[in-house]
Structure 1
Amino acid sequence: MQHETLMAKTLPDFIIIGAMRAGTTSLHNYFQRHPQVSMSHDKEPNYFTEKKYELGEDWYVGQFDVGQMFRGEASPNYAKVDVFPGVPERIHRDLPDVKLVYVVRDPVKRFVSQYDHMVSRGFGLPEPGELCRHEDPLPPEPVRLTLDEPYRHILSISCYARQLKAYLHHFPLEQIKIVEFERLKQEPEVVLEDLQAFLGLDPLGPRTLPLLNRSKELTSVPQPILRSARDTRIGNWVRDRMSLETRDRLKRLIAAPFPDTKRAFPDEAIHRVRRDLADDIAEFRELTGMPFSSWSV
């Protein structure tokens, strides 16, 4: 009974489920500064993905401090239903009353940003024109995708209706807060006050909101260093224990002598991405009742 009480006190009240490359790190860092909130010790615990779920609830409980009034975590992998299936079901099974935050941005820009991010981290992706040329569009229902299909892999994460519907099978829309990245940049005070009201937090104000674009230096960090940080146990251990500010300073120091690795997307590639996203984004507008008027789709 005592163990169950402790678990109830330390499991999260809210989860930022994604989307990748849409400001989830900035929101994590913002809530990490909030005096009422304990964010997870690992920046992206990914507990509800298949492999991490096997670690068990005690491991997840250990991610949060008991002393704070609210607990939260941010794992963008939770909004990748074709890459990490079963996440919404697991969250609902363990945390049926949890509040969910889904941050979205222009889906074409998000696609390009993820591509650049993956290239900068050493993933051997084709050139943009080649990437967008051959693979078939996504089927209506979620499928299991790997990086053997990089175009569909990246595209699926920008299919916001596809992601949202997987959660709506288990949670009412009223339990999910959709945050528009572009509005967060333009009107941080308004958006954050609304988000904090949704979560039941006292407003902290925008003055501590971290920079929303921290990826510039990352594209210039040499790939062997990034692979070491991503793929080795010691690299992951060191990265998870550094503050965001320390990691950013280190990236700037390492990146200074090296050129940017971003690749230009030809018009035909952008047109293909926009075309393949059009129906999903129209459905997403209908599901949410939000206009997303600045988006390119």
Structure 2
Amino acid sequence: MKLPNLVIAGVVKAGTTSLYSYLSLHPDICCSTVKETCYFSYHRYGEWDPWYNDSKDPFEQYQNYFCHCEDQKYVMEATPGYFEGEMKVAQTIKNVLGDHVKIIIILREPVSRLISFFKYKKSRLELDKELSLVEYLQQCEALTPQERVKKENDKYWGIEGGFYANYLEDWLNVFGESVYISFFDELQNNPKLFLSKICAWLEIDNTVWESQDLTVENKSLNYKNKYLQELALWLNLKAERFWRANPGIKRSLRNFYYNLNNMPYQEEIKQQTFNYLQSLYQPYNQKLAAQLLAVNYTDLPQWLRF
């Protein structure tokens, strides 16, 4: 039975769904039938993800996500929540999947990631549609560190999820050169070059996407009608295996739904709020830059140049 030797381990709202979808087009990569298997999330939260609620053997179910894979060079899954699982998750992945497993981590400027996460949780109906960003930040900061790490409070992980320096070192210590660190900036600006670099690291053909139209996946969009949104979320979850096997059908239906029920966010974020968040993240960004420079990552995005 096949098990992954390639894991997109982080971070949430940094383009992992798009990367997973693009890599699934490569003939040398076989992807899990659902994007986020969440198997190793147990070692972050101490409880199984709902995927495994009815399973007598979670590991057997995990294997089944890859039972269609044949002789591809890589078998891949993508659960960006693994990144904040620290040493427990990183070491368990290596223990279960073996020394040969490769890890991809995408980092995004933390203020823009936070805002995207906030909008995403609204689109998932986990936060009130009328909640302002300032009110959301207050709710996040009102939780104690012990409360923030609980799975039921994941929607309040917006601020904490940008403290990358608190988590990266564990992944580097466990996986060393088997970690590929990339940046959302490049994925957004030049996805084909971004993919070409990853393919060079994986030692596979990098010309697969030359004629492909690469669309953005998993956008955080506002909605007009809550009940239609609930239905769309339910269908997306229940039929994920079908959508993964038929991306063209999903793309067409998704575009139709966006035209029907989506609308832009109206909230204007004040400069004072931006300034506060930038000052909050600055020491963590400085520490992150030092961590990356120490392992010879010198081509850093603007937000990591000091």
TM-score, normalized by length of structure 2? 0.79
**Alignment correspondent of 2:58:** 56
Instruction: Give 1:161's match in structure 2, choosing from 159, 165, 187.
Output: 165
In 1, the alpha carbon distance for the partners of 2:207 and 2:39 equals 28
Give distance in 2, aligned partners of 1:221 and 1:201: 43
Match of 1:144 in 2: 149
Change (3 A) 1:180 1:146: same
Q: Say whether the 8 Å CA contact 2:199–2:205 is kept in structure 1.
A: yes
Which secondary structure state, in structure 2, belongs to the residue aligned with residue 226 of structure 1? Answer: helix
Instruction: For 2:232 and 2:240, locate their aligned partners in 1 and report how far apart those are by CA, in whole Å.
Output: 7
* Amino acid in structure 2 at the alignment position of 1:88: A
Name whichever of 260-269 and 113-122 sits farther off.
260-269
SS of 2:77's partner is strand
Higher mean alpha-carbon deviation, 55-64 vs 19-28, is at: 55-64
Residues 48 and 91 in structure 1, CA contact (< 8 A), matched pair in contact too: yes
Q: Is the 8 A contact 1:37 1:72 kept in 2?
A: yes
Rounded Cα–Cα distance in structure 1 between residues aligned with 2:71 and 2:139: 53
C-alpha RMSD of matched pairs (Å): 3.1
Deviations 1:121-170 (A, max 9, x none): 2122531122224654999999624565855x111222222231232342
Shift of 1:14: 0.7
Give 1:30's match in structure 2, choosing from 19, 22, 26. Answer: 22
SS of residue paired to 1:11: coil
Q: CA deviation at 1:16?
A: 0.6
Q: Quote the residue 1:4 is aligned against.
A: none
Q: Alignment partner of 2:239: what SS? A: helix
User: Residues 170-206 of structure 1, C-alpha deviation per residue, up to 9 Å, x if partnerless?
Assistant: 222x111011121223343433222112223222344
Q: 1:59 to 1:137 in 2, by over 3 A?
A: same
CA 73–128 in structure 1, closer or farther in 2 if over 3 Å, else same: same
Amino acid in the other structure paired with 1:201: I
Q: In structure 1, what is the Cα distance between the partners aligned to 2:248 and 2:224?
A: 16
Alignment of 1:174-253 (within 5 A): 174-207=177-210, 208=212, 210-212=214-216, 215=219, 218-220=221-223, 222-230=225-233, 236-242=237-243, 243-253=246-256
More deviation in 108-117 or 51-60? Answer: 51-60
Q: Is contact 1:120–1:221 with CA below 8 Å preserved after alignment?
A: no
Letter in 1 for 2:215: L
The secondary structure found in structure 2 opposite 1:33 is coil
Q: Is the 8 A contact 2:35 2:78 kept in 1?
A: yes
Aligned equivalent of 2:10, options 3, 18, 22: 18
Task: Give the Å deviation of 1:21.
Answer: 1.5
Look up the equivalent residue of 1:129 and give its one-letter code: V
| Cα distance in 1 between the residues matched to 2:147 and 2:91 | 14
Q: Is the 8 A contact 1:107 1:295 kept in 2?
A: no
Provide the C-alpha distance between the structure 2 equivalents of 1:250 and 1:171, rounded to a whole number of angstroms.
40
Q: Tell me how far apart the structure 1 counterparts of residues 154 and 36 of structure 2 sit (CA, whole Å).
A: 24
Could you tell me the percent identity over the aligned residues? 22
Indicate the residue corresponding to 1:106 in structure 2.
Answer: 109
Alignment partners' CA distance in 2, 1:221 and 1:41: 31
* Alignment counterpart, residue 92 of structure 2, candidates 68, 90, 93: 90
* Partners of 1:261 and 1:123 in 2: CA distance: 18
Cα drift, residue 40 of structure 1:
0.6
Tell me if structure 1 keeps the 8 A contact 2:28–2:72. Answer: yes
Structure 1 stretches of 5 or more lacking a match? 1-6
Give CA-to-partner distance per residue, 1:240-264, whole Å, 9 cap, x none: 4213443333233223244525233
Q: How many aligned residue pairs are there?
A: 282
Pairing 1:99-138 to 2, within 5 Å after superposition: 99-125=102-128, 126-133=131-138, 135-136=140-141
**1: distance between equivalents of 2:79 and 2:193?**
24
Q: Which residue of 2 aligns with 1:3?
A: none
Secondary structure of the structure 1 residue equivalent to 2:274:
helix
Question: Which of 25, 40, 45 is 2:37 aligned to?
Answer: 45
- Counterpart secondary structure, 2:105: strand
- Conserved? CA contact 1:197–1:203, under 8 Å: yes
SS in 1 for 2:263: coil
Cα gap change, 1:257/1:140 in structure 2, threshold over 3 Å: closer, same or farther? closer
Provide TM-score, normalisation by structure 1.
Answer: 0.81
**Alignment partners' CA distance in 2, 1:149 and 1:205:** 36
Q: Distance in 1 between matches of 2:196 and 2:142?
A: 38
Q: Within 1, Cα distance between the matches of 2:122 and 2:304?
A: 23
> Which residue is equivalent to 1:270?
274
